[in-house]
Structure 1
């Protein structure tokens, strides 16, 4: 029986707890949160201190679902115990914080959409890609941007919080440095420090490009998708509300709960010394997407529209 500790029992932690509760051979050995926002199953110990939980629960896997900054600290201390670690994105908004440290090889980012159908083979044998289109169209009410999500310093922007699943996947398939950025960041609803819309074109060394169109003020059905333009003229379309259909049909897409369970199994397998599953995303590899995101925001033209005009 594998023992799992969940650190953080807020909105995202609740999703992990639901997924973990249905995994054969896995025991939720504890939940660490001073004020859980979810009903913890009877018999599962609740700890106010994550350090106390690490000591008492002796976990094989630690799932970290806390805000950025804290998440990185928890993940690294958890890895020092010998446990495998899955940490929610982005874990930090500072690329320099991801300079490798001892134990970082046991930490993976919880990109469960990367386990969607067809992506295993895609990542195991990456095709030659000339362009990637990262598309995000969702609606987030102003109330979503409360607490730690209010400030850019704590939460980053929508590329850190919303579009990073697809952007990180695209960058796994597209090597090279960013040579040019043409971007516009639009604030139209007064969402604290968070923007409503990012449009960007990135030129990479080697000639490939990444095009981003990410918005959180979309009035229609939500979608987060990735279109890969291959050198042979084909297109691969990773579909879903959040990439979950992968290269398959949307009607046959697995649930995110199912994708999380596949991710837990892969992390536990890697912790036993087996080769890492192609869909696992190491935390050290997150540094490059964060550097790219920093470059977009640094070079972007910022447009601030009056709220009344945008309503």
Structure 2
């Protein structure tokens, strides 16, 4: 998509539902993407939370950003506002859902029914069947769903994925995944739903799900079986604050998983290591800084080529937006979603300027809804295995939901 075309498009309105911690990243990301997007509303039953969020905007923008106590009230006001306008077709707009996980499905269905495209924070839902219903509903209405799986937007991700797909380092044999994303008790105490089985889950569902999703994305192969254990060692919560598992992907790669929030909050790290036939790929984030290493006979040359490809791929957005996307991956998610919506709008009215082969393909975002549902299925499978004393289970575990964990006792397996 060229800048010239983007400048001809009216910025898409974005309503932020849920004004907690993560919403700050969303609002800053919208400011970074002001060429494509414009904040349209802050929605939260707690008006004070919305006011505090609005304070991060320049004063002249604050007056232009209305508050609503519910998504329904915002959607009703939008209908009234557009009723007097003369349009051949309805404007596209985005609803970003940042509320407790158990509320995602209800809010998403309400927004889709009103014609919105969606950005849903992870996990997309706590019940996989609900996620699949959202995918079907979006397809019926020709709307897009992006999810908050930010690791897919870290630097070099697509370049490493392409190299793995081309067999540059041979077949992936094994993968090690470690997420030590420490949180204090205060993190869980700030909201009653945090760390609960029915509304949130623990270290695996909230922190480790990012990295496990990225690993499956890089390998382009889903997990098909897993066996694991969980425990609660450092926090006063219902769910786990540490978990470990061993699994296999559909392509036969063995995966070792560690996820915990019990480590020091001062040093948050997430890292994966891919052991391939002819090399090893290491990537991760430490202190908010992504990094990667390649060990093979041609590692130096391949590393330079990957960096060059990354630079070329990012140049079209400009250096400033590229850097902001690295600092706040939500910026990159919104850029991706906005461009996908604009491409879809152009395809719908016959003005798509891409190659004919691309015009026939469906418009997608990198952090798609299907991958997000599969990520939830992976974590639920680890929970199901833990409840079965570590027995290996196939993925998906039919009929298993977070509610099954409400009676789980961490003393059972000791």
Contact preservation (8 Å) 2:125, 2:373: no
| Separation of aligned partners in 2, 1:140 and 1:85 | 29
The CA deviation string for residues 118-153 of structure 1, in whole angstroms up to 9 with x for no partner, is: 112334565343322221112211222231113112
Partners of 1:277 and 1:238 in 2: how far apart? 28
Unaligned runs of 5+ in 1: 306-311
Q: Does 1:99 align with 2:121?
A: no
Cα distance in 1 for residues equivalent to 2:201 and 2:212:
15
* CA spacing shift, 1:81–1:256, aligned 2, 3 Å: farther
> Any residues of structure 2 matched to 1:133-152 within 5 Å, and which?
133-146=176-189, 147-152=192-197
The 5-angstrom pairing of residues 262-281 of structure 1 reads: 262-274=332-344, 280-281=366-367
Pair 1:299-2:374 in alignment: no
- Find the partner of 1:164 among 209, 217, 223: 209
Contact 1:152/1:193 (<8 A) preserved: yes
* Structure that is richer in strand per residue: 1
Deviation of 1:43 after TM superposition, in Å, equals 2.3
* Equivalent position SS for 1:21: helix
Asked if residue 175 in structure 1 is aligned to residue 235 in structure 2, the reply is: no
Q: How does 1:57-206 map to 2 (within 5 A)?
A: 57=78, 60-100=93-133, 101-103=136-138, 106-123=144-161, 126-127=164-165, 128-146=171-189, 147-172=192-217, 173-181=219-227, 183-206=228-251
Call closer, same or farther: CA 1:227–1:277 in 2, change over 3 Å: farther
Instruction: Tell me, in whole angstroms, the C-alpha distance in 2 between the residues paired with 1:276 and 1:241.
Output: 36
Distance change (3 Å), C-alpha of 1:279 and 1:61: closer
User: Any unmatched runs of 5+ in structure 2?
Assistant: 1-10, 55-61, 79-90, 166-170, 294-306, 308-321, 345-360, 391-408
The equivalent position to 2:45 in structure 1, one of 34, 47, 60, is: 34
Return the TM-score normalized by structure 2: 0.65
How far 1:31 moved relative to its partner? 0.8
SS in 2 for 1:261: helix
What is the alpha-carbon root mean square deviation over aligned residues?
A: 2.9
Aligned mates of 1:109, 1:237 — CA distance in 2: 25
Match of 1:52 in 2: 73
CA distance in structure 1 between the partners assigned to 2:159 and 2:126 by the alignment: 30
Provide the C-alpha distance between the structure 2 equivalents of 1:154 and 1:121, rounded to a whole number of angstroms: 36
Aligned counterparts of 1:91 and 1:241: Cα–Cα separation in 2: 25
CA contact (8 A) 1:112 1:256 kept: no
More helix by share: 2
**SS, match of residue 240 in structure 1:** strand
Q: Bigger shift: 256-265 or 61-70?
A: 256-265
Q: Secondary structure at the match of 2:246?
A: strand
Point out the more displaced range, 19-28 or 45-54: 19-28
Contact 1:135 1:214 in 2 (8 A): yes
Alignment size in residue pairs: 301
Corresponding residue for 1:225? 271
SS at 2:271 equivalent: strand
Between 113-122 and 75-84, report the one with greater CA deviation: 75-84
Partner Cα distance (1:67, 1:178) in 2: 28
Cα contact 1:6–1:30 (8 A) shared by 2: yes
How many angstroms apart in 2 are the aligned matches of 1:118 and 1:180?
Answer: 28
Matched, 1:17 2:103: no
CA separation of 1:13 and 1:124: change in aligned 2, threshold 3 A: same
- The answer to whether the 8 Å contact 1:116/1:246 transfers is no
Q: Which moved more, 1:284-293 or 1:54-63?
A: 54-63
- Contact 2:117/2:144, CA 8 A, preserved across alignment: yes
Secondary structure in 2 aligned to 1:89? coil
1:304–1:242 distance in 2 versus 1, CA, 3 Å: farther
